[in-house]
Structure 1
Amino acid sequence: MTAPPRSAPEPLAFLFDLDGTLVDSVYQHVLAWREATQAAGIELPVWRIHRQIGMSGGLMLHALLRETGRPVSPEEAEQIQRVHREAYAKQAPSLRVLPGTHELLDTLAAHRVPHAVATSGRMENARHALKLLGLRDDVPVVTRDDVRFAKPDPDLFLAAGERLKVPMNRCVIVGDSVWDLLAARRAFALSVGLLSGGYGQDELERAGAYRVYQDPADLLRHLDEVGVRLG
């Protein structure tokens, strides 16, 4: 008896975080947040700021100020975020793509693997990093402006999957922070962690990463481990 023909597998898609995942921009954000909080008379160690990078600006600010115990009015919070935007924009010339970013994106495009970018930053901030990527017109970009809640809520990744028309159980979310991976778990998607944002392998694995690589170049070398066949 002849076996029935096997149907083609459903497409696999990649949903990428931006800062620290594709572009080396985490520490520029950290220094911009330090400048913004210091301008408001709030002293925070740089390492504490780094631990919150990856959240939306508003949620991150709330988490940082919770540690100081200092109340901040909505007007002052908006002022802090404005100074952060301005300070980060001044550092835009120092941004660089991470090793292997262009090669990874080009490889996915060449093999027709759908992919998108989902960032907790608003477009006003994200445009500096996005410009370096030179994304194709068919690569969706979802920013904080497009969703109600940012990471660790799953909204950004859910919106990116919808734009690609790929169900979340066929998506691989790639991020460098625990907030990316927690959002991936809440979206019921597999996640891959990258060390290029400053978190350790054990932290990323505890947050849900089923594979951890150094950077985009390392991920590219191991695409077969995450389900991409290039042959």
Structure 2
Amino acid sequence: MPHPPRSTTAFLFDLDGTLVDSVYQHVLAWKEALDAEGVELSVWRIHRKIGMSGGLFTNILLRETGLEITEERLARLRRRHADAYNRQAAQGAIRPLPGARALLDYLQDSGIAWAIATSGRMATAAANLDALGVDPAKVPVVTRDQVRHAKPDPDLFIAAAERLGVEIGHSLVIGDSVWDMLAAQRARALGVGLLSGGYGPEELERSGAFRVYEDPADLLRHVDEVAARG
């Protein structure tokens, strides 16, 4: 049986809120970590910064609250966030978004290259990958631990394209946040937005998304709109 023609487009996926329903779990984990550090911050303010680099995220939050930023404080926040998030994962709170597994299977079966690029460190990304059924030994996965700068810088997606051996300009960045779309623009890749992380369509479009879908299942239903065939 002949193989389907290989796509000329590679898919570079964000993870939280794009393939895994985990954005609000991260919000609550950061809230717990910040509370333990004596940092009072509303949940909605935390949500608006999910998706950017964890280090940039904590720096901005601490700057907004006027607290002193030290390496020790940042390290404690990261550790407390990871502990709180992984407790939720252990309780089964982290699950793939609708259609995520089917979308990845479709890409694999169709010969379309794909990789994952997440601003999360492996300390929390491992639980997401496990819930998704993705083995980082078999699939290119780039985490914050592996690049100099995370979103909204383009390093994660550029590294993911390099791992696949494809041109970043021939790639689609699939993400749920404005930080993903900004990183896609800076990488000179096309951005595709998903609403499954809590950002609105207008926000994603203003940040550079040329298409917006509800979730991975909706993207799969319309994949012919974005996947160029070779």
Partner in structure 2 of residue 197 of structure 1: 197
Matches within 5 A, 1:113-124: 113-124=112-123
Partner in structure 2 of residue 132 of structure 1: 131
**Residues 63, 69 of structure 2: 8 Å contact kept:** no
Query: How far 1:46 sits from its partner (Å)?
Result: 0.1
Partner in structure 2 of residue 100 of structure 1: 99
1:122-171 deviation per Cα after TM superposition (whole angstroms, max 9, x unaligned): 11110000012222654200001110111111000000000101101110
**Residues 9, 229 of structure 2: 8 Å contact kept:** no
**Residues 10, 170 of structure 1: 8 Å contact kept:** no
Structure 2 spans left out of the alignment, 5+ residues: none
Matches within 5 A, 1:36-185: 36-92=33-89, 93-135=92-134, 138-185=138-185
Change (3 A) 1:167 1:114: same
Structure 1 spans left out of the alignment, 5+ residues: 1-7
Q: Distance in 1 between matches of 2:20 and 2:169?
A: 26
Q: Distance in 2 between matches of 1:26 and 1:57?
A: 13
Amino acid paired to 1:190: L
Q: Distance in 2 between matches of 1:82 and 1:10?
A: 40
Amino acid paired to 1:112: G
Partner in structure 2 of residue 212 of structure 1: 212
Q: Secondary structure at the match of 1:153?
A: coil
Query: How far 1:73 sits from its partner (Å)?
Result: 1.9
**Residues 223, 229 of structure 1: 8 Å contact kept:** no
TM-score (norm 2): 0.93
Amino acid paired to 2:77: I
Q: Distance in 2 between matches of 1:111 and 1:139?
A: 16
Query: How far 1:78 sits from its partner (Å)?
Result: 1.0
Superposed CA RMSD in Å reads 1.6
The percentage of counterpart residues that share the same residue type is 62
Q: Distance in 2 between matches of 1:184 and 1:229?
A: 21
Q: Using CA pairs below 8 Å that are at least 6 residues apart, which structure has the higher relative contact order?
A: 2
Amino acid paired to 2:165: K
Partner in structure 2 of residue 3 of structure 1: none
Q: May I ask how many residue pairs the two structures share in their alignment? A: 223
Higher alpha-carbon deviation: 196-205 or 59-68: 59-68
Q: Distance in 1 between matches of 2:208 and 2:121?
A: 25
TM-score (norm 1): 0.93
> Are residues 1:27 and 2:24 paired?
yes
Higher alpha-carbon deviation: 55-64 or 65-74: 65-74
Query: How far 1:67 sits from its partner (Å)?
Result: 1.4
Q: Secondary structure at the match of 2:116?
A: strand
Q: Distance in 2 between matches of 1:16 and 1:173?
A: 6
Query: How far 1:185 sits from its partner (Å)?
Result: 0.4
